[in-house]
Structure 1
Amino acid sequence: MKTVAVLLFPDFLLLDMAGPIEVFSIANRYLDSADHYQISVVGTEQTAIRASCGVAVQADQFIDQAPDAFDLLLVPGGPGAYNGDHSAFRPWLMRAAQQSTRYGAICTGAFILGKAGLLDGHRVTTHWHYIERLIACCPKAEVCSDQIFIHDGKLLTSGGVTAGIDLALSIVAEDHGKKVALDVAKVLLVVMTRQGGQAQFSPLVASVAAQQSPVTVVQNYVLEHLEEEFTIERMASLATMSSRHFARVFAREVKMTPMEFLQSARIDKARSVLESTDWPLKTIAHRSGFGSVRHMRFLFGEKLGLTPSQYRKQFG
């Protein structure tokens, strides 16, 4: 029997707790009793703990009475994860994470692990909206933005909210085989393997900085004229810089090359149109600057793991 514990704190996200717990609970229906997951909720407060949605949950045990080791210890996300004070329970968490077989975070629970130094030296992820914030918070971690979940040794992290279900399914598959995990996925009406990663949901191009600089001038011009043809030389001329100097400055300020920015901006534009119109793909490819449906389809597959038609079916 494997022990699974979820650590609760004020202002946690209820679905981050309930999603993975339901996966393990349903898995028990398909397992021999000796192989069951023994699920418990550990509270950082002795009273019922209120989730961000207002629901109060009574934990099974307070951290002072809880074991220091589990087969799996999970920390959910929520506003309390990235805005709360975790100093009171951090020593217990650090000790329990080190002694548990596996530990991890659902969604923004990564911030709690990160502030305890438990992400340092690992590949990790979190909800796409908080990627930049986690990078700033945990400079010693390798933060990835394009994956639903990541297993890195004994550390497990996942993207936004329902990605906790994906992570839990992957753990069941690892523990008891793909068939059991697939049976659980069917009960929950979810797919075992999602097409693509978090890039499907997140903008590939971050908001352009408000201050005017040669680079932001070029960025804004590109965003407003995506149907035009662009080369490094043309963008450099808009910034009144040499091509080599412009490419260096752009990459330093934007964290991607000028051509990567252009491609990502075109994909974002096409995604927006696919979500909001029934225009033919040929029209969307032209308006977004791809030149052809074939080129648009190739870049969608490379960046999002979906074709434009699949994207429209899923999000349109």
Structure 2
Amino acid sequence: MRRVVVVVFERFQLLDLAGPADVFASAGLFAGDGGYRIEPAAPRAGAVTAHNGLAVHAQAALGEVAGPIDTLLVVGGFGVPDQLADRALVADIARLAGEARRVASVCNGAFLLAEAGLLDGRRATTHWWAAPEFAERYPATEADPAPIYIRDGDVWTSAGVTAGIDLALALVAEDHGHDLAARVARALVVYLHRPGGQDQFSLPVRVPAPRSAPLRDLQAFIDAHPAADLRIPALAERTAMSERHFARVFTRETGMTPGAYVERSRADAARRLLETTAHPLDRVARESGLGTPETLYRVFRRHWRISPGDYRRRFQAKEN
């Protein structure tokens, strides 16, 4: 039996525990003797209440847990910010990581791994919502908010909430092979390899508001008129700047070149049209300013690693 110690705490995300636990339990059922033993552990043994109000029983206090451990899994949730200041908890995670064959986190549980120094010099992901704060707070980690999960050596991190299922399936595939992991995925009615990355779920791009009122007005114009002439000469003329000066100031104040901002704004416009209309792709491309279905496809693949058609099938709002 492979021992999986799962770190939980008050106001954790229940699905971060339940999803991987069901993957491991199903894998054990199919693998026979090669199963997993799940051991929830918390700062104190006993009942631990998740954010949704349901409680799980932590079998042991973290300070009492000792190795060897096959997998140390740290969940995320709304309670993570409160736990970052708990030095005993962070120290226990660091200690147990040294006694585990591999370490993993779900969602913003990556903050706790980083706080314990386990992600220094590594590439890692977390929930897209928390990614900007994560990158700012832990500059020693190469933060990548796009993938569903990342493996860097013996440390694994995953995106938010249901991505813990993807992560656990990958761990099962490492332990027992692709065929058994695929069997588990079919039993749980999920993808073994989810199409695209988590950025297809994220909100439209938000960049810092420029200090200059003309540039703030220009951003609003770009977002409201994606099919307009948004080439640099036209944009510079709207701000009464030379093209060179405009491009330099816009990039300095927003962190993006004008061309990059326009493309992402148009991609977001296309995404909204795909979600809310039944327009054919050529009309979506025209109205979003991307011009042709070929450009629409290329931009979607570049930004969200998914085709426009697949995106519409997954996210279009349909009448009941």
**Bucket of the pairwise TM-score, normalised by the shorter protein:** over 0.9
Cα pair distance change 1:5/1:195, threshold 3 Å: same
- The aligned residue for residue 64 of structure 2 is 65
Residue 19 and residue 223 in structure 1: after superposition, are their counterparts in 2 closer, same or farther (change >3 A)? same
Deviation of 1:254 (Å): 3.0
TM-score when normalising by structure 1: 0.93
Partner of 1:94: 94
Q: Distance between the aligned counterparts of 1:245 and 1:99, measured in 2?
A: 56
If the length of structure 2 is used for normalisation, what is the TM-score?
Answer: 0.92
Are the aligned partners of 1:282 and 1:292 in contact in 2 as well (CA < 8 Å)?
Answer: yes
> What residue number does 1:141 align with?
141
Q: CA deviation at 1:228?
A: 1.1
Distance in 1 between residues matched to 2:296 and 2:141, nearest whole Å:
33
Counterpart Cα distance in 1 of 2:38 and 2:242? 61
Aligned twin of 1:313: 313
Q: Distance in 2 between matches of 1:240 and 1:95?
A: 60
RMSD: 1.9
Does the CA contact (< 8 Å) of 2:266 and 2:288 recur in 1? yes
In 1: Cα distance, 2:82 partner to 2:248 partner: 36
Q: Please tell me whether the aligned partners of residues 82 and 108 of structure 1 are also in contact (alpha carbons under 8 angstroms).
A: no
Q: CA deviation at 1:96?
A: 1.2
CA contact (8 A) 1:68 1:95 kept: no
1:234 is displaced (CA, Å) by 2.9
Give how far 1:217 is off.
Answer: 3.2
The offset of 1:90, in angstroms, is 1.4
1:130 aligns with 2:111: no
Measure the CA separation in 1 of the matches of 2:126 and 2:282.
Answer: 35
- The residue matched to 2:160 in structure 1 has which SS? coil
| Kept after mapping to 2: 8 A contact 1:208/1:220 | no
Superposed CA deviations along residues 111-135 of structure 1, whole A, max 9, x for unmatched, are: 1122222222111111111111111
| Secondary structure, aligned partner of 2:46 | coil
Structure 1 position 261, deviation (Å): 1.4
Paired position in structure 1 for 2:45: 46
Shift of 1:274: 1.1
State the partner residue of 1:2: 2
Q: CA deviation at 1:212?
A: 4.5
Q: Give the letter aligned to residue 76 of structure 1.
A: V
- Give 1:1-316 correspondences, 5 Å limit: 1-33=1-33, 35-84=34-83, 85-206=85-206, 209=209, 212-316=212-316
State how far apart, in whole Å, the 2-side matches of 1:10 and 1:44 are. Answer: 9
SS at match of 1:119: coil
- Cα 1:145/1:233, change in 2 over 3 Å: farther
> Residue 157 of structure 2: SS of its match in structure 1?
strand
Question: Compared with structure 1, are the counterparts of its residues 249 and 114 closer, same or farther at alpha carbon in structure 2 (3 Å cutoff)?
Answer: farther
Distance 1:271 1:95 in 2: 45
Shift of 1:69: 4.3
Q: How much does 1:206 deviate?
A: 1.3
Matched AA of 1:191? Y
The percent identity for this pair of structures is 39
Asked if the contact 2:44–2:60 (Cα under 8 Å) also holds between the matched residues in 1, the reply is no
Preserved CA contact (<8 Å) 2:5 2:71: yes
* Distance in 2 (alpha carbons) for counterparts of 1:213 and 1:121: 40
2:210·2:254 contact (CA, 8 Å) conserved in 1? no
Q: Secondary structure at the match of 1:58?
A: strand
Q: In the aligned structure 1, how far is the partner of 2:235 from the partner of 2:67?
A: 57
Question: d(CA) in 2 for partners of 1:210 and 1:250?
Answer: 8
Residue aligned with 1:259, SS:
helix
CA distance, structure 2, for counterparts of residue 41 and residue 158 of structure 1: 19
Structure 2: unaligned runs, 5 residues or longer = none
Which consecutive unaligned segments of at least 5 residues does structure 1 have? Answer: none
Partners in 1 of 2:246 and 2:96 — Cα distance? 49
Residues 193-226 of structure 1 show CA distances to partners (whole Å, capped at 9, x for unaligned) of 1111012111351165385445433322211211
